[in-house]
């Protein structure tokens, strides 16, 4: 029996009504005689809400505890979906990242999947269970819960597809595919039928918030066809594969970045300041895009928006106050 992996994003599992729609899709695959592995994100804005609440308690919450907190979001969706599928008469079981054998690197908040021990998943599939796995999380060698970085559930789904040699990996969300621009901003944007892994990686890393960029990397490496589609309609989605249909323009994206400048005479000789800035950037997982040094300033362009708390740290080390 072929295995398929089906991933649902946060807006697809946001409430009970939507969970029912998700359950119908899963049941359809199951009734077509597939082994079905489901990966879920946290419901709606749960992750944002949990982050906000933690940041109200502490300016710099401990990263390990943040992973314990954030991993709960996906557990809520997985267990609810399993409760619903069982009520609809189907055999199902929810598994957390560690129960599913997802082993990651050490770092909290941005761990990488290192290997997967799929024994529990395959045992449950052999019993004809629909296996629902919490996205975005795993366990590190210390036995601590880790998370994979925002949007990481896509990566869980594609990594599981690779390990289980799934026939296909479906990524369902509230948009039905990859467009030539963000359809929420550019109404004339057109949906693509196909896109190659390589093109998709460029899109993701340049700020298109469609798929987690690491999932595309894994898809390419292990040859997993990724099919994106909408949970709420049956329009054909976009297939991400090795196929390079044509060499035309695929999409136009905008990314918001932060440029931080330290201004004052003598900057081109201030190596120690630059070193400290890079240290803070590394501690906060900020990726530097470009550094530009002149006599009166050091400017650093980060690949993402830098929060004011981090700006405060830069201010402290640069001015000593
Ligand atoms: N719930 C996590 C997030 O909001 C992971 C995910 O949705 O993929 O970033
Ligand atoms: Mg996502």
Encode pLDDT of 241-285 as tens digits: 987 666 677 788 888 889 998 888 877 777 888 888 899 998 888
Please identify which residue in the block is written with the tokens 């918001």. Answer: 256
150 CB under 6 A from ligand 1? yes
Report the candidate in 14, 165, 151 with the shortest Cα–Cα distance to residue 70: 151
Residue in 125, 132, 106, 153 with CA at minimum distance from that of residue 33: 125
Distance between first and last Cα of the chain: 65
Q: Where are the alpha helices (DSSP H) in the chain?
A: 16-31, 46-57, 63-87, 119-126, 153-163, 197-205, 213-222, 271-283, 308-319
Nearest to 116, CA basis, from 129, 127, 130, 104? 104
The residue with tokens 């069982």 is 86
Which residue is associated with the tokens 């099919």? 227
pLDDT at 206: 77
Q: Residue 273 has what pLDDT?
A: 86
What local confidence, expressed as pLDDT, does residue 246 receive? 64
153 CA from centroid of ligand 1 (Å):
6
Q: Which pLDDT belongs to residue 266?
A: 79
Q: Is the CB of 136 under 6 A from ligand 1?
A: yes
pLDDT at 315: 86
Q: Which residues of the chain have pLDDT under 50?
A: none
Q: Which residue has the tokens 């592995």?
A: 37
Instruction: Write the CB contacts of 207 (distance below 8 Å, at least 6 apart in sequence).
Output: 253, 254, 255, 256
Alpha-carbon gap, residue 65 to 185, rounded angstroms = 36
As residues whose CB is below 5 A from the ion ligand 2, the structure lists 9, 151
Site to probe by mutation for ligand 1, drawn from 46, 51, 70, 160 as the one with most ligand atoms within 8 Å of Cβ, is 70
List, in order, residues 6 or more apart from 119 with CB less than 8 Å away.
101
- Which atom of ligand 1 approaches the CA of 136 most closely? 5
Q: What is the pLDDT of residue 244?
A: 66
Nearest ligand by distance to the CA of 76: 1
Ligand 2 center from residue 203 Cα (angstroms): 14
Centroid of ligand 2 to alpha carbon of 320 (angstroms): 40
The count of other CB atoms within 10 Å of the CB of residue 260 is 18
| Domains of the chain: residue spans and CATH | 3-174 (3.40.1160.10), 251-319 (3.30.70.260)
Ligand 2 center from residue 172 Cα (angstroms) = 9
Report d(CA 153, CA 133) in Å as an integer.
Answer: 10
**Which numbered atom of ligand 1 lies nearest the CA of 42?**
1
The alpha carbon of 43 and the centre of ligand 2 are apart by a number of angstroms equal to 11
DSSP string across 120-147 = HHHHHHHTTPEEEEETTEEE-TTS-EEE
Nearest CA among 191, 105, 207 for reference residue 150: 207
Nearest Cα neighbor of 50 from 158, 147, 140, 139 is 147
Q: What per-residue confidence (pLDDT) applies to 247?
A: 65
């Amino acid at each position: 029996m072929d295995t398929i992996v089906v991933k649902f994003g946060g807006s697809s599992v946001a409430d009970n009504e939507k969970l029912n729609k998700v359950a119908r899709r899963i049941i359809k695959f199951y009734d077509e005689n597939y082994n079905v592995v489901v990966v879920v994100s946290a419901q709606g804005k749960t992750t944002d809400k949990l982050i906000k609440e933690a940041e109200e308690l502490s300016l710099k919450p401990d990263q390990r505890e943040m992973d314990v907190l954030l991993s709960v979001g996906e557990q809520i969706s997985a267990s609810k979906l399993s409760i619903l599928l069982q009520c609809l008469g189907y055999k199902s079981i929810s598994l957390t990242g560690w129960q599913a054998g997802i082993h990651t690197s050490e770092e909290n908040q941005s761990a990488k999947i290192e290997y997967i021990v799929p024994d529990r998943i395959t045992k449950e599939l052999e019993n004809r269970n629909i296996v629902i796995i919490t996205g975005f999380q795993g366990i590190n060698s210390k036995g601590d819960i880790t998370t994979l970085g925002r949007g990481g559930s896509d990566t869980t789904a594609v990594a599981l597809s690779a390990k289980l040699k799934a026939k296909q990996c479906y990524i369902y969300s509230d948009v039905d595919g990859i467009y030539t621009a963000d359809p929420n901003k550019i109404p004339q944007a057109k949906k693509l039928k196909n896109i190659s892994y390589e093109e998709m990686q460029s899109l993701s890393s340049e700020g298109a918030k469609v798929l987690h960029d690491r999932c595309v990397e894994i898809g390419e490496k292990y040859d997993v066809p990724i099919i994106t589609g909408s949970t709420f309609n049956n329009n054909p989605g976009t297939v991400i594969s090795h196929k390079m249909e044509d060499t035309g323009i695929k999409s136009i994206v905008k990314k918001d970045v932060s440029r931080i400048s330290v201004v004052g005479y003598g900057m081109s000789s201030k190596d120690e300041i630059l070193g400290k800035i890079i240290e803070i950037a590394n501690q906060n997982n900020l990726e530097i895009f470009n550094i530009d040094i002149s006599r009166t300033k050091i400017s650093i362009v980060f690949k993402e928006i830098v929060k004011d708390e981090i700006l405060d740290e830069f201010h402290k080390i640069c001015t000593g106050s």
